[in-house]
Amino acid sequence: MISSKLSEQLNTQIGLEQYSSNLYLQMSAWCESEGLTGCAGFMRKHADEEMEHMQRLFQYVVDTGARANIGAIPAPRSDFKDIKDVFETTLAHEETITTAINSLVATAFEEKDFSTFHFLQWYVAEQHEEEGLFKNILDRIRIIGTDGTGLFMIDQEVGRLGQASPAEKA
Ligand code: OFO
């Protein structure tokens, strides 16, 4: 059993994960339209991962006997200046998700709901990994640059990351 405050916050997080999935799917469409097929594949795979994050939360809420509610999901941004803008937006978005997860963890702790606290640790670790991944990509963009051959190399490199296992991405 979870409190109504926590179930409400978990439901908000379900919406945020769904929004993340839509945002990355939309980014993949932008990448495709720019001919960046490596980045498009990476974003599409990441959209699938966010969907799994959403499902994991949904299942947890249902398992506690509370009702999972899917609220309105705002339309994601669809246009970007360049690939650097895409990944800067991604990192900023993940930072807001980390804040939301931290707030959930704080509520679970305050309420001494250690089952939910334990469940959320997976998300804490996931956010750490994702922020690291996107910072890493932005570093490569800064080092390699995005003019001509640089953009081609970035696309290949990001495409490779999209296929790698989490351990290989580190
Ligand atoms: Fe991008 O992370 Fe979900 O939680």
- What CATH number did the domain enclosing 145 receive? 1.20.1260.10
- Is residue 165 domain-resident? no
Output phi, psi for 34, to 5 deg: -95, 0
- 170 found inside a domain: no
Q: How far is the CA of 77 from the centre of ligand 1 (A)?
A: 17
Q: Which domain range does residue 65 map to?
A: 4-72+79-160
Cα 148 from chain centroid? 29
pTM: 0.93
Q: What is the pLDDT of residues 19-76, one digit of tens each?
A: 999 999 999 999 999 999 999 999 999 999 999 999 999 999 999 999 999 999 999 9
Q: Are 61 and 11 in contact (CB under 8 A)?
A: yes
Count how many domains the chain has. 1
Whether 168 maps to a domain, the answer reads no
* Residue 166 belongs to some domain of the structure: no
DSSP assignment letter at 113 = -
26: in domain: yes
156 Cα to the center of ligand 1, angstroms: 24
Atom number of ligand 1 nearest to Cα 50 = 3
Ligand 1 proximal residues by C-beta, below 6 Å:
17, 20, 50, 53, 94, 97, 123, 126, 130
Cα distance between residue 23 and residue 29, in whole Å: 10
Q: In angstroms, what is the span from residue 19 Cα to ligand 1's centroid?
A: 10
Which alpha helices (DSSP H) does the chain contain, by range? Answer: 4-33, 37-63, 83-110, 114-144, 149-163, 166-169
DSSP assignments along 80-105, one per residue: -SSHHHHHHHHHHHHHHHHHHHHHHH
167 part of a folded domain: no
131 CA distance to ligand 1 centroid (A)?
Answer: 10
The per-residue pLDDT for 167 is: 52
Residue 23's nearest CA partner among 7, 8, 43 is 43
pLDDT of residue 163: 77
123 domain residue, yes or no: yes
Is residue 30 domain-resident?
A: yes
